[in-house]
Amino acid sequence: MLQETIDPIDRARGLAKDFAVDAHHFDASGEFPFENFARLYEAGLLGLMTAPEHGGYGGGLADAQAVISEIARGEPSTALVLAMHYNSHYSLRRFGKWPSHLAERVLLANRLGPALINAAQAEPRIGSPAHGALPETIARRVGDSWRITGRKTYVTGIPILKWVSLLALTDEPEPRLASFLVPTDSPGLTIEKTWNAAGMHATASDDIILDDVAIPLEDVIEAQPASEPIRREEHATAFFFSLIGAVYHGVALSARDRVISFSAHHAPASLGAPISTVPRIQDGLGEIEVRLSTNARLLRSLGEDVDAGRPVGIDGMAVRHVVIDNAVAVTSLALDLAGNPGLNRDFELERQHRDAITGRSHAPQNHMVRVIAAKNALARLEAGRI
């Protein structure tokens, strides 16, 4: 896929400018931005996480964060789908848990064309696995295949996905919690259009329904006893949460760009000067800069630690919490500073605010992150480390 050395961030920045042209259309219509992913493939960016020996760039979390934030400045729904793709390919490359035949299948397809992948884990009744309940999607062993039946919700990017890494419970005497590589064109797999959220409209985070979908026995990515808590590797968790944060940081950067340009050029007759000369406006713009600088530092520090292999604990969740809260605050403040013009649908700020507040829906939600942080602190106290 990548035959020459590239500057992924520079390429992402260039593509984001093009993607921004149609961002309003995709938000209003909910259409999926297929062409954006063709452009990302042509630019070599679908292989950012892929090792060079498989035709990729071999990037780390810091690279991924920067690319995702740049793409989000142009069209954030595209950035979120791309972040999910990066997350799967990072896990595939970094942790070596994938069976070789599945890894080769996914890597080859990613090199030959747009072949995106995302996890399918959440369900209507149990929500995210982060809530602790076992999936109601069941994989039955029948002869030389698994037969999977169930329903998954919020499958981001489903119109373009070639595969989903699908979480299901096996019906074995000792049930296992397993991830299966499921092609989205499998007989018995259907998509139901359910995503109609206020923000991130073009992510097409719809439901998939599986009716006795047949998967070869060997196409299990990984599995564990269902009686054990779901296993999470701290760097994989930090990678995922960090990229989610990077999406909404990019949204906030775009809102900053719009409001600062407006403030510098909007000169009401009653003022006789741009509103950027008003102390209240300057204070608001300064608060935006402080929040964005904080986000950038937090993301960069976490990315560097993960790339260096340093312990990060639950910092990925904490950083995502702060980054998304700051993004919501930035877009809200930008709307306030722009006044009535900012509420116009053609002005971009109201769309960016809707996109930012959608970030709070990602599991685990903020209250769960805080509870986890509190329990960690109490455990450290009990262990004599506080």
Give the pLDDT of residue 75: 98
Query: What token pair was written down for 270?
Result: 């009653």
Domain 8-96+105-114 classification at class level: mainly alpha
Rounded Cα gap, residues 214 and 210, in angstroms: 10
Query: What token pair was written down for 247?
Result: 């999406």
Rounded Cα gap, residues 85 and 90, in angstroms: 9
DSSP secondary structure string for all residues of 264-299? HH---TTTTS-GGGSHHHHHHHHHHHHHHHHHHHHH
Rounded Cα gap, residues 314 and 235, in angstroms: 9
Output DSSP code: residue 65. H
Residues of the chain below pLDDT 50: 1-3
- How far the first Cα of the chain sits from its last, in Å, is 50
Rounded Cα gap, residues 64 and 49, in angstroms: 8
Which are the contacts of 321, defined by CB distance < 8 A and separation ≥ 6? 366, 369, 370
Residue 165's nearest CA partner among 110, 106, 119 is 119
Q: Measured between alpha carbons, how far is residue 228 from residues 12, 52, 132, 221, 313 in Å?
A: 41, 36, 11, 18, 20
E strand or H helix that includes residue 243: helix 234-265
Rounded Cα gap, residues 81 and 161, in angstroms: 9
Give the pLDDT of residue 6: 74
- Are the C-beta atoms of 117 and 102 separated by less than 8 Å? no
Give the pLDDT of residue 52: 93
Is residue 370 helix, strand or coil? Answer: helix
Task: Give the domain 120-225 fold.
Answer: Butyryl-CoA Dehydrogenase, subunit A; domain 2 (2.40.110)
Q: What is the CA radius of gyration of the chain?
A: 22
- Are the C-beta atoms of 130 and 364 separated by less than 8 Å? yes
Rounded Cα gap, residues 7 and 27, in angstroms: 29
| E strand spans, 126-250 | 138-142, 145-155, 161-170, 176-183, 189-192, 206-216, 220-225
- Are the C-beta atoms of 344 and 265 separated by less than 8 Å? no
- Are the C-beta atoms of 239 and 61 separated by less than 8 Å? yes
- By the 10 Å C-beta count (0-12 exposed, 13-18 middle, 19+ buried), 384 is classed as exposed
Rounded Cα gap, residues 183 and 120, in angstroms: 12
All structural domains of the chain with their residue ranges:
8-96+105-114, 120-225, 234-382
- Are the C-beta atoms of 249 and 76 separated by less than 8 Å? no
Give the pLDDT of residue 1: 42
- Are the C-beta atoms of 320 and 372 separated by less than 8 Å? no
HSE-up (13 A, CA, CB side) for residue 292:
21
Q: Measured between alpha carbons, how far is residue 316 from residues 91, 240, 351, 379 in Å?
A: 15, 8, 27, 19
Task: Give the domain 234-382 fold.
Answer: Butyryl-CoA Dehydrogenase, subunit A; domain 3 (1.20.140)
